[in-house]
Structure 1
Amino acid sequence: MIAVTGASGQLGRLVIQTLLDTVPANQIVAIVRDVSKAEDLRASGVQVRQGDYSQPETLATALQGVKKVLLVSSSEIGQRLEQHKNVVQAAKNAGVELIAYTSILHADTSPLSLAQEHIETEQLIRDSGLSFVFLRNAWYIENYFSAVGTALQTGKVFGAAGEGKFSAASRADFAVAAAAVLTGSDQGGKIYELAGDQAFTLAELAATLAELSGKPVAYVNYAETEYKDLLVSFGLPEGFAHILAQSDTGAAQGGLYDGNGQLSKLIQRPTATLRSVLQAHLATV
């Protein structure tokens, strides 16, 4: 059986939907914190099991009989390592044969502060003795959806990335890659640096929005501290605003760029473009 943690989340749900194309539903386990949020998955025949990263006893039950598991990294920054440790230990105890982990692009050399918990989790998995695959994902293009409304209202995209390039891809592309690894053979020990085929700057993001919307949109670059303060003024918690601002300056140093094409090779097609993803989103707003 193949299990996916965080299965009611955006990435986990897409991974399961992709797995259903080739794997019998009763051989897929959706591990979720709240089973009421996965009734659609249960209706499709997938086994839905309750499992909370912070409650190890639930994970032991959730992973029974599982041979491969996708550990979708926790969204609780600052608590990730301990939560991931619980999943890894439960997987080892359950006799899981392969653990795939969603890490961050070039985790071992990344200038982004977000990378630290990913590096520590990767080492934790290595030390466990489990056969592993690291899916080092670049940014999701969907990360920018929250900025679209503001950009169209103000005519500005804000950031601190300068001319830094983002090799972002759609969440669906990363999901297809994860499913390919989970259903493939001889994956143990592999590390994939997964990124979109066409990198873009935030100025190019603004230009694409302008073209698609017919409204003037320009990129405004800030220093990291100024951008953090701007995000706080928009209502973001200071800690999260700091992470976003630091991620932009990390991107300015090349931390979110990769041109090796591993993602498109893994999914056996070109990755979705910034234009196509934004166009589809604008059609819904």
Structure 2
Amino acid sequence: MSKIVITGASGHFGKATIDFLVKKGVKASQITGLVRDKSKAKDLTAQGVSIKVGDYDNYDSLLDAFRGAEKVLLISGTDLANRSPQHKNVINAAKEAGVTHVLYTSFERKNESADSSMAFLGQAHIETDKALKSSGLNYTIFRNNLYLGVIPMFVGEQVLDSGIFFPAGEGKVAFADRDNLAEAAANVLLGAGHENKEYAMNNVENYTFQTIADELAELTGKDIAYVSPSSEAYSDTLTKTGIPEEFIRMLVSFAEAIKQGEFEVEKSDLELLLGRRPTDLKSYLAKAYASDK
């Protein structure tokens, strides 16, 4: 079995991918996890996973982690302002260390222009995709759609009492389960024939926020309304509740992108890579709101 490095290994996606690799027969000793804080990787150490401390800004730490590895899963960083050069550090270090295949968690999109409402999030992904394709390394790019797990953030903590107030219009999203995406990444790491491929990591259905409201109503027996205000009315309402301006801007940007159809897709490779149908909206909501019935 080839040696695999998972970056961001102490995060949810990284840990889940490692868990799936081990469940599918990879010896933990064949996996290296790159983490910034070793204290957050105690469970990985207990599994027998080799832990390297470093980060995307520390090129030498990347080189050290990647030496002897054949495959690296680059999980996108959270530093929006700096992650493009950080990701390029990973790619360059992987190439110098002799890695042959880099896999990357990118994102689904249609509009790649600078005036896209998702430009703040997407530009680094677009630049990383291009850097990978021109690196000379074998690559696999996962164009991950929005997680099902972000729905509670969009609909708010009081959704079961006050309904959904979110300016997404009739826009649709092929929300995907994060653990499904991690398992699919593990399958690709273990499989063959995935070199120089881009995969559409979307659910097999697209969902509107009206659908989310309807599903929640059926699940809980409550009347759950969906109201799509203007972006301005939405911002004003959230501002009055004391929510930070930066967070409001992010929510408005996502809502606008959803309204414009950025995350509505016709293609999904997720079912193929999983070998089964992905987790659907109803199943996710039933689990997320089970205690609220």
CA gap 1:240/1:211 in 2 versus in 1, 3 angstroms = same
CA gap 1:6/1:220 in 2 versus in 1, 3 angstroms = same
Paired position in structure 1 for 2:106: 103
- How do 1:267-278 and structure 2 match up within 5 A? 267-278=274-285
Give yes or no for contact 1:100–1:135 (8 Å, CA) kept in 2.
yes
Distance of 2:240 and 2:108 partners within structure 1: 29
CA gap 1:232/1:7 in 2 versus in 1, 3 angstroms = farther
Paired position in structure 2 for 1:84: 87
Distance of 2:200 and 2:220 partners within structure 1: 33
Q: CA deviation at 1:51?
A: 2.0
Paired position in structure 2 for 1:280: 287
Q: CA deviation at 1:259?
A: 2.5
Distance of 2:169 and 2:233 partners within structure 1: 13
Q: CA deviation at 1:140?
A: 0.3
Distance of 1:203 and 1:74 partners within structure 2: 32
TM-score scaled by length of structure 1: 0.93
Residue type at the aligned position of 1:263:
L
Q: CA deviation at 1:129?
A: 1.7
Paired position in structure 1 for 2:192: 185
Q: Compare 218-227 and 83-92 and name the one that shifted more.
A: 218-227
Question: Residue 151 in 1 paired to residue 159 in 2?
Answer: yes
User: What's the CA shift string for 1:35-72, capped at 9, x where partnerless?
Assistant: 11111111111111112112222212111211101111
Q: CA deviation at 1:232?
A: 4.4
Give RMSD over aligned pairs: 1.9
Question: Residue 176 in 1 paired to residue 183 in 2?
Answer: yes
| Structure 2 segments unaligned to the other structure (5+ residues) | none
Paired position in structure 2 for 1:211: 218
| Structure 1 segments unaligned to the other structure (5+ residues) | none
Residue type at the aligned position of 1:127:
S
Q: Compare 37-46 and 257-266 and name the one that shifted more.
A: 257-266
Distance of 1:237 and 1:148 partners within structure 2: 15
TM-score scaled by length of structure 2: 0.90
Alignment: residue pair count: 284
Match of 1:50 among 50, 53, 63: 53
User: What's the CA shift string for 1:5-59, capped at 9, x where partnerless?
Assistant: 1111111111111111221111111111111111111111111111211222221
Distance of 2:230 and 2:32 partners within structure 1: 45
Q: Percent identity?
A: 38
The DSSP-based 3-state class of the residue aligned with 2:157 is: helix
Q: Compare 265-274 and 102-111 and name the one that shifted more.
A: 102-111
CA gap 1:235/1:136 in 2 versus in 1, 3 angstroms = farther
Distance of 2:77 and 2:255 partners within structure 1: 21
Distance of 2:240 and 2:132 partners within structure 1: 39
Distance of 1:142 and 1:65 partners within structure 2: 35
